[in-house]
Chains A and B, each alone.
Chain A
């Protein structure tokens, strides 16, 4: 019997697309079609690149495109990694090694029916995915992608910065935007008029408010070491000294890492969309492109979080022997950009590995990890760093490491001596003595 859905023509197209040679040729042709006109017109618009007003706008456009495209690649990578962890093949039908899967996914999102359930709170229902995506995307404004660049046709000594906005509140801007990020999820959960979605939104609120505290404390420790809140200055300092801040403040990095997982709603902190308990959590009622926007927002959040962590702890675009702050040529800029992207990609892959390795926490565990684990550790770390700063030792590697080691040992002793682990069962906790009302 001849199947309508899978006839010989479809089969032929699929087989052609699975050939890597066809894909490479197609990529070359498409790339040439896009790049040749750009290259030929280059003398006419190159002043835009050296203009301090237009260059950040170009950076913004390019980075927006890169982030949104990388989201698609991220989804493919996530599925491939998941299948690798679970000992199966993963997507391998569309294109060679499943490389065209992101396109198929995107097309599927567009073609699905966009359902708005009858009893939802319509304006908020529409607003929520937009908020989720926007708050995840505007965090990119402060990331110093590739330091300063001097184009060959610029006057001697002038440079432009590959950063959308150089704010003197720097990291605080990131915190402000991150704290707005919760609205998308909360409102999505509320507007859906569905108990499961509602619980998802509630969980997300409690989780995000809680995890902002240790995040702020750990960031403060790094800011005490760096002495500035501008991310570009933080990266420049790390590049000139060659010492990344992760060496000075490993515990701060650990806390920020955990909090970024929580803020991005990633496993093991994805309580807001726990499938087993809440169907789909806050996005149960969303379909088609509205769901895709939540999805995009989550991945954009991961990439932003990774980029911020790379800038603060891993020297941004710095790599020993490869890049330096003094090198402002455009080739140097491209190398720096690639170094930055490589670090961010490593972080994103780490996020994915964790997702398929560590199971989700229970909600009470999640809260106790934050309030009994990370917050006291963050306060102790801040106090320790403040003491180092008071003694003038904050740039002394051995003093910093010693402080971190002392903290680690104290934490381990405390954990070993406490009868119930922080992630223990609720019923194992000692009863709280309550005086009668």
Chain B
């Protein structure tokens, strides 16, 4: 067994050192694996191939998290990071491959929780709490609400089959390739150990930054939200008049 392990390690190392225009072969393998797996796993007519697609995706995820990151960063990732990242990848894949919308929304919640774990590992506690409160607590509950209200007895055609899975997979993974290649050719920005001090993610630090350096951004965000709210109220009022004309549109 040690012989096989060292052989695998040697070939992986050789593959990692062979660069293709700044893009590691391992990265190419990951991208091809991922794209093929996702294409097969997306809901469509290829019924029997979906488990194969999921298996390919799992392999791609393990490759990404444990092998590729090892090469790109030059150090081993903490086990907690690997676990959270794998859960997040799995959940993200299931969000787009599951045929039932409710399950998709639930996997999105799982994704949020896993990303929260990643943020906590970087001691960005405020961001983690805000992510859970805003996404898992408000936005996804509303999604779930809408999905449940719009549910149908049988699977809707647009849920049962992905639209243009091939084009979508190719486009997505080409984008991913560009981003990942940039990360690999600029390892100084990624590979360095995080040097932020302990207090950077606390409520006090984030709040002070938001109200000093980023005051214009936060005011603009507030304005945008206000405009959105006014717009939503305007739209909702007219809808009420259309649907219930007999009692004067009282909502």
Contact = CB atoms under 8 A, between A and B. Distances in A.
Interface of A: 121, 124, 167-169, 172-173, 175-176, 178-180, 182-183, 186-187, 190, 198, 201-202, 205-206, 208-209, 212, 229, 426, 429, 431-432, 434-437
A205 B250 contact: no
Majority SS at the chain B contact face: helix
A195 B130 CA distance: 34
Contacts of A172: 126, 129-130, 133, 203
Contacts of A437: 238, 241-242
A124 B109 CA distance: 14
Contacts of A201: 148
A258 to B, nearest CB: 19
Given A432-B240, A437-B241, 18 more contacts: A167-B125, A169-B202, A172-B130, A172-B133, A176-B133, A179-B132, A179-B138, A179-B141, A180-B136, A186-B148, A190-B102, A190-B144, A202-B148, A205-B141, A205-B142, A208-B141, A212-B137, A434-B238
18 contacts: A124-B103, A173-B129, A178-B137, A180-B132, A180-B137, A182-B141, A183-B109, A186-B144, A186-B148, A198-B148, A229-B203, A429-B250, A432-B248, A432-B250, A434-B237, A435-B238, A437-B238, A437-B242
Contact of A436 (B125, B202, B203, B241): B241
Point out which of B106, B138, B203, B241 has the most chain A C-beta atoms below 10 A from its C-beta. B203
Interface string B110-135: 00000000000000011011101100
A148 B132 CA distance: 30
A361 B136 CA distance: 28
Given A198-B148, A435-B238, A169 B129 contact: yes
A121 B147 CA distance: 15
B249 interface: yes
B129 A176 contact: yes
Interface of B: 102-103, 106, 109, 125-126, 128-130, 132-133, 136-138, 141-142, 144-145, 148-149, 202-203, 237-238, 240-242, 248-251
**4 A-B pairs closest in CB distance:** A179-B137, A176-B132, A434-B241, A172-B129
Given A180-B137, A186-B144, A434-B238, A202 B149 contact: yes
A176 B103 CA distance: 21
Contact of A176 (B137, B238, B240, B250): B137
Contact of A434 (B102, B109, B240): B240
Contacts of B102: 121, 124, 190
A186 B102 CA distance: 11
A121 B132 CA distance: 26
A202 B203 CA distance: 33
A186 B203 contact: no
A176 B140 CA distance: 13
B249 A124 contact: no
A191 to B, nearest CB: 9
Contacts of B109: 183
Given A176-B129, A180-B132, A432 B251 contact: yes
A434 B129 contact: no
Nearest to A426: B250
A364 B88 CA distance: 39
A202 B145 contact: yes
Most A Cβ at <10 Å: residue of B126, B130, B133 = B133
B138 A209 contact: yes
Contact of A124 (B106, B132, B251): B106
Contacts of A173: 129
Contact of A190 (B128, B148, B240): B148
Contacts of B132: 176, 179-180
